[in-house]
Structure 1
Amino acid sequence: MADLATPSAAKMSTIDAKADAPAKTQVTKPERPDEETYKKELAKAEKELSAVQEKQKANKAKLELAQPKNQDSPTAKRRAELIEERNKIRTTQQSGKSGRTQIMDRVKRLDEQMKTLQAEQKTARSRMPFRSADEVTQQVERLQKQVDTGMMKLVDEKKALAEITSLNKQKKSFGTLDESQKKIDNIKAQIAEEKKKLDDPESKALSDRYTEISSELDKIKAEQDEVYKNLNGLRDERTKLHEEQQTKYAAVKELKDKYYAARRAAAEYEKEAYRIRKEKQKAENDAYHAGKRRQVAQQKLEEASAPAYQDEILTAQGLIRYFDPSSAEAKAANGPGKFAAQASRTVDSSAIKGTALKKKTDDDDDNYFVGGGGKKKKGGKKGGAAASPAPSSGGDKFNLSIGVIEELGKVGVDTPMNQGDVPNVVEQLKQKLAHWKSDQDKKTKENIAKAQKEIDRLEAEAAAEGQSGATDAGNKPAAKNQAVNGQADAGAQLAQEKDGAADAAYELKKASIEDTNGS
């Protein structure tokens, strides 16, 4: 099977250029925007926008300061908080004198209560042999282990159990002592808090805070007075800043829109270019495989149209001539051909005298190489006359060449073991020859029909594969076969083409076009 050459890239590009020339329009490839330049310009525009927004905030704060009736403004809220805090400090300072006496009385009562609890706790602890509940628990566990061993006497065991019961009661008493200790600690904390109230640093801190609040309130009032005088100017500034802010915001938005629009345009162009490349490659690939299928189909039809049994007929005729030189086939082969040249004149040799030159075919040495079946006889002339393609007869050995045996195997005839089997072999060959000749036309038509059926099946499979959109289905497509960012790898394309040729040869090989063994 002849290989179908892959169309060159130059030729394909020329064909596509000619085909697309009428409908082609001039398209300029959009440039992908520079990201670093975009980031720098965006940072600059956003910085200008932020500066204007800061000015707007300052202007708004001044306007709120100039309008004290607006209680929701930050300045008004701050002023109200400061006034409230100053009033509290003033009330605290006024009640400071009478409060110190009350604090001293509370400290004295708490101290007496704490001493009473400490005395009770000391008395209770002196009656207990253990210092804490953990020691009681350890003693109970030690006694319980001794009881659990079962090695104690009955009297000792009862004594240990009684001691365990007593220790558990004492353990509960430790819980009462813990509660008493918590009360003592709580009273100590209360005494410490009350004593802190008597310290002078707190009164000094209140006085300092009162001074700070008064100063801040005076500052707020001064700012309000100043801003109120320039209220109209602040309002004009607010309008101007708003317009500037809108301009800066529009510039930032335009910069972003322009950048992302350019990116989308470049991406769309690359996507469309990739789609066109893929469609072009698919069209070229489909055209290539369609031409290849047509060539394969033409070759298979030519092979199927050849006369059937041609090799078998020629082989059988050659074997008949070999085994039976007197047959019609041998005579037809040895006689002059249909298109043999005839002598245009005869030469009278009666007047020629002298020694006649021998022909090359009369040489005794050449007769030695004629394929005879038996041994060469001593008489050179007799041996040469008896030599023929047929096997030797009589008592000579019956020998056949390997080639003759192989030819007999090809036509399905058993090899003769002696000279007596030769007529039967010749008869079988003639029968097969007659059958092949009579069945030749019918078998040829069957071969043509079978080849056409196989071609139709392969065409249907190719059409179904094309409709399903399957590409690269025979083998797993590699990344270099995809041609994502440009042309596909040349080595990958060549490998795919070879794979396609191998697949087609395999499919056609599965369908046998003719039965070489005959009937």
Structure 2
Amino acid sequence: FGFSTPHTSCGTTSNLPTLCEEKTPVSTASDRPRSSGPFCPRLVRQPCTMAEAAPAKAPAAEPTPQATRPTRPDENAFKEELAKAEKAHKASMDKLSAIKAKIDIAMPSKNKDQPSPTQKRRQELIAQANEIRQKQAGGKNARTSKLDQIKRLDEQVRSRIAEQKTAKAKVPFKSAEDIDHQIESLDKQVNSGTMKLVDEKKALSDISSLRKMRKNFGQFDDSQKQIDDLRAKIKDIKDSMDDPEQKAMSEQYNKIQAELDTIKAEQDEAYKGLSSLKDERSKLQAEQQEKYTAIRKLKDDYYGQKKAFQAYERDVRDKQRERKKAEHEQYQRERKKAVAERVLAEASDPAYLEEIRRANSLLQFLDPTHKTEKGPLMADSGLSAQAQRTVDDSALKGTKLLRKEDREDEYLPAVKKGKKGKKGGAAPSSKLFNCPPSVVEDCALIGVEPPMSGDDVPGVIEKVRAKLDHWKSDQEAQTQRNIEKAKKEIEKLDKEESNGVNGSDKVDEVAAGVKDASIAEKQES
């Protein structure tokens, strides 16, 4: 709590000790020398290590052993088994869907709003066929007229061909070239003059007939040309009837009709084995349900083991956290207890020990004849200032050498030179007085102005003696006040601890507050 306490070995100031200071009672009230005033039992502090001073931690509580420790499920094995089960379930579902489709074909759905896939497809095909028929009906009349025209032209062609064949049958020659060769041969015979008159007349008559027949062969060519023209017209009409769009519609209609026939055949076939299909459907439904149950069981087992393992780990972490929390709370309680004992022990030390020690040190320096009182709590450390020794000079012979202070009239120190450019030497100095820094520090501590010259020493001595007398007279009362204040602060800490306030940092804060208050009171006094 910041009360100034001296160490008996060297007389130096000791502030708040750390946790590495062990408090061990070394004497009882009967054998310990008592000082004036009601002091609490003293506790001797000995240096120690952090390990010795730290509060003993509570033994780590072992986690409650469980009957069986859950094992972590193998995720890779689970995924592999799940993939196999889902594959088997999918195959079973595909078989069941195929059987249901066959049953739907044999038994159309009575609900028109929700037809089966087969019914829906059949209705679509019928609608497409009707649409094609309607499109084809628009060009039916034009096609009929063209067919009639083709029929008439074809009859004309056949008639002309028959007439041509009949006319050609009457002519012994197949072509006009044959007739020309025959006419040329007869002309050569007539012109040769070797023929008889009768034969020559007959040859000339044949030549005349052949020339007439030659003219008739020209009519055959005209007739053949007319036949070819009629055939060309028939071909043009047929080509106009071969419309690609109409042809495509006809092909589409044929495909639709073939698919409708296939559906009809499937319906007939399925209807014959309807009972066996229903039995197979029931069997596949049971198989599918079994596969699904296996998947559910596999997932339930895996996630159940996983949750159990996670719960076990969470429980272990919770227990470890609770154990650490309990150890931390125990450590804080022991730390608070140690701090409270330390504060109370420091408060029981006599007050103003450091101030009295500093005042005696100043008086011994300023007044060598000052005698320091030796109390039971202020053992002589051997380091205090002593009076200067006196030398017996009665036996000495010769001239006595005086110090500089004793021969000021004769001693003239060297004149110091001034800075360059300035004339005149240094100003004469007054009587020298040496005040060490430690004396200035002690004066500042007890609240006295340090002497600046030898003339200030008596006044400083009087002030120091006045403060020393006040501290000695008020030492017992101030010590009791320190003890009461420490007890109040300890009670405050106990109250905060009972309310669940974490006092680990609060102890240092309160100790600092008490220290500031005590030093302030001492400085004011």
Q: 1:371 aligns to what? A: 388
In structure 1, how many angstroms separate the alpha carbons of the residues matched to 2:241 and 2:52? 107
In the alignment, structure 1 residue 75 sits paired with structure 2 residue 92: no
In structure 1, how many angstroms separate the alpha carbons of the residues matched to 2:342 and 2:60? 27
Q: Which has the higher contact order (CA 8 A, sep 6+)?
A: 2
In structure 2, how many angstroms separate the alpha carbons of the residues matched to 1:73 and 1:66? 11
* Partner of residue 3 from structure 1, selected from 19, 44, 47: 19
Q: CA deviation at 1:227?
A: 1.7
Q: Are the structure 2 counterparts of residues 436 and 216 from structure 1 closer, same or farther at C-alpha, using a change threshold of 3 Å?
A: same
Q: Are the structure 2 counterparts of residues 90 and 325 from structure 1 closer, same or farther at C-alpha, using a change threshold of 3 Å?
A: closer
In the alignment, structure 1 residue 439 sits paired with structure 2 residue 474: yes
Q: 1:514 aligns to what? A: 518
Q: Are the structure 2 counterparts of residues 372 and 76 from structure 1 closer, same or farther at C-alpha, using a change threshold of 3 Å?
A: same
- Is the 2:369–2:387 contact (alpha carbons within 8 Å) kept by the matching residues of 1? no
In structure 1, how many angstroms separate the alpha carbons of the residues matched to 2:102 and 2:475? 114
Q: CA deviation at 1:370?
A: 7.1
Q: 2:83 aligns to what? A: 43
* Partner of residue 313 from structure 2, selected from 270, 282, 285: 270
SS of the aligned residue for 2:518 comes to coil
In structure 1, how many angstroms separate the alpha carbons of the residues matched to 2:124 and 2:134? 16
Map 1:113-512 onto structure 2 (within 5 A): 200-317=243-360, 319-320=362-363, 329=371, 371=388, 402=436, 403=438, 406-414=441-449, 425-458=460-493, 466=501, 505=508, 508-511=511-514, 512=516
- Is the 1:33–1:262 contact (alpha carbons within 8 Å) kept by the matching residues of 2? yes
Q: Are the structure 2 counterparts of residues 43 and 413 from structure 1 closer, same or farther at C-alpha, using a change threshold of 3 Å?
A: closer
In structure 1, how many angstroms separate the alpha carbons of the residues matched to 2:116 and 2:368? 133
1:288-329 residue CA offsets vs partner (Å, 9 max, x unmatched): 2222222222112111111111233344445556666767x4
Q: Are the structure 2 counterparts of residues 199 and 508 from structure 1 closer, same or farther at C-alpha, using a change threshold of 3 Å?
A: farther
In structure 2, how many angstroms separate the alpha carbons of the residues matched to 1:422 and 1:443? 29
SS of the aligned residue for 1:514 comes to helix
1:444-463 residue CA offsets vs partner (Å, 9 max, x unmatched): 12222333344445555666
In structure 2, how many angstroms separate the alpha carbons of the residues matched to 1:372 and 1:404? 22
The one-letter code sitting in structure 2 at the alignment partner of 1:514 is S
1:162-207 residue CA offsets vs partner (Å, 9 max, x unmatched): xxxxxxxxxxxxxxxxxxxxxxxxxxxxxxxxxxx97611222222
Q: Are the structure 2 counterparts of residues 325 and 215 from structure 1 closer, same or farther at C-alpha, using a change threshold of 3 Å?
A: closer
The one-letter code sitting in structure 1 at the alignment partner of 2:512 is K
In the alignment, structure 1 residue 54 sits paired with structure 2 residue 99: no
In structure 1, how many angstroms separate the alpha carbons of the residues matched to 2:296 and 2:310? 21
In structure 2, how many angstroms separate the alpha carbons of the residues matched to 1:290 and 1:315? 38
Q: CA deviation at 1:514?
A: 2.6
Q: 2:72 aligns to what? A: 32
Gaps of 5+ in 1: 103-196, 334-338, 340-368, 383-391, 471-499
The Cα RMSD (Å) is: 4.4
Q: CA deviation at 1:79?
A: 2.7
Q: Are the structure 2 counterparts of residues 96 and 418 from structure 1 closer, same or farther at C-alpha, using a change threshold of 3 Å?
A: closer
The one-letter code sitting in structure 1 at the alignment partner of 2:90 is S
Q: CA deviation at 1:74?
A: 2.5
Q: Are the structure 2 counterparts of residues 6 and 408 from structure 1 closer, same or farther at C-alpha, using a change threshold of 3 Å?
A: closer
- Is the 2:78–2:302 contact (alpha carbons within 8 Å) kept by the matching residues of 1? yes
- Is the 1:309–1:518 contact (alpha carbons within 8 Å) kept by the matching residues of 2? no
- Is the 1:323–1:426 contact (alpha carbons within 8 Å) kept by the matching residues of 2? yes
In structure 1, how many angstroms separate the alpha carbons of the residues matched to 2:476 and 2:407? 42
In structure 1, how many angstroms separate the alpha carbons of the residues matched to 2:501 and 2:118? 78
- Is the 2:106–2:268 contact (alpha carbons within 8 Å) kept by the matching residues of 1? yes
Q: Are the structure 2 counterparts of residues 218 and 440 from structure 1 closer, same or farther at C-alpha, using a change threshold of 3 Å?
A: same
In structure 2, how many angstroms separate the alpha carbons of the residues matched to 1:226 and 1:51? 25
- Is the 1:450–1:513 contact (alpha carbons within 8 Å) kept by the matching residues of 2? no
The TM-score, its normalising length taken from structure 2, stands at 0.54
- Is the 2:448–2:460 contact (alpha carbons within 8 Å) kept by the matching residues of 1? yes
Q: CA deviation at 1:409?
A: 4.7
SS of the aligned residue for 2:71 comes to coil
The one-letter code sitting in structure 2 at the alignment partner of 1:81 is E
Q: Are the structure 2 counterparts of residues 100 and 13 from structure 1 closer, same or farther at C-alpha, using a change threshold of 3 Å?
A: farther
In structure 2, how many angstroms separate the alpha carbons of the residues matched to 1:203 and 1:7? 111
- Is the 2:70–2:308 contact (alpha carbons within 8 Å) kept by the matching residues of 1? yes
Q: Quick check: 236-245 or 69-78, which moved more?
A: 69-78
SS of the aligned residue for 1:307 comes to coil
In structure 2, how many angstroms separate the alpha carbons of the residues matched to 1:400 and 1:85? 129
In structure 1, how many angstroms separate the alpha carbons of the residues matched to 2:457 and 2:120? 133
SS of the aligned residue for 1:432 comes to helix
In structure 1, how many angstroms separate the alpha carbons of the residues matched to 2:493 and 2:132? 103
The one-letter code sitting in structure 2 at the alignment partner of 1:16 is A
In structure 1, how many angstroms separate the alpha carbons of the residues matched to 2:450 and 2:131? 136
Q: CA deviation at 1:265?
A: 2.0
The one-letter code sitting in structure 1 at the alignment partner of 2:258 is S
In structure 1, how many angstroms separate the alpha carbons of the residues matched to 2:142 and 2:388? 152
Q: Are the structure 2 counterparts of residues 66 and 413 from structure 1 closer, same or farther at C-alpha, using a change threshold of 3 Å?
A: closer
- Is the 1:297–1:455 contact (alpha carbons within 8 Å) kept by the matching residues of 2? yes
In structure 1, how many angstroms separate the alpha carbons of the residues matched to 2:57 and 2:444? 52
SS of the aligned residue for 2:72 comes to coil
In structure 2, how many angstroms separate the alpha carbons of the residues matched to 1:26 and 1:427? 80
Q: Are the structure 2 counterparts of residues 406 and 12 from structure 1 closer, same or farther at C-alpha, using a change threshold of 3 Å?
A: closer
The TM-score, its normalising length taken from structure 1, stands at 0.55
State, as a whole percentage, how many aligned pairs show the same letter: 40
- Is the 2:71–2:309 contact (alpha carbons within 8 Å) kept by the matching residues of 1? yes
SS of the aligned residue for 2:523 comes to coil
In structure 2, how many angstroms separate the alpha carbons of the residues matched to 1:398 and 1:381? 30
Larger Rg belongs to: 2
The one-letter code sitting in structure 1 at the alignment partner of 2:74 is D
Higher helix share: 1
Q: CA deviation at 1:426?
A: 4.8
- Is the 2:344–2:486 contact (alpha carbons within 8 Å) kept by the matching residues of 1? yes
Q: CA deviation at 1:237?
A: 0.5
Q: CA deviation at 1:73?
A: 2.5
Q: Are the structure 2 counterparts of residues 504 and 466 from structure 1 closer, same or farther at C-alpha, using a change threshold of 3 Å?
A: closer
- Is the 1:398–1:417 contact (alpha carbons within 8 Å) kept by the matching residues of 2? no
Aligned length: 342
Gaps of 5+ in 2: 1-16, 21-49, 146-239, 380-385, 398-404, 410-430
In structure 2, how many angstroms separate the alpha carbons of the residues matched to 1:508 and 1:235? 92
- Is the 1:393–1:419 contact (alpha carbons within 8 Å) kept by the matching residues of 2? no
In structure 2, how many angstroms separate the alpha carbons of the residues matched to 1:93 and 1:301? 119
In structure 2, how many angstroms separate the alpha carbons of the residues matched to 1:81 and 1:7? 96
SS of the aligned residue for 1:517 comes to helix
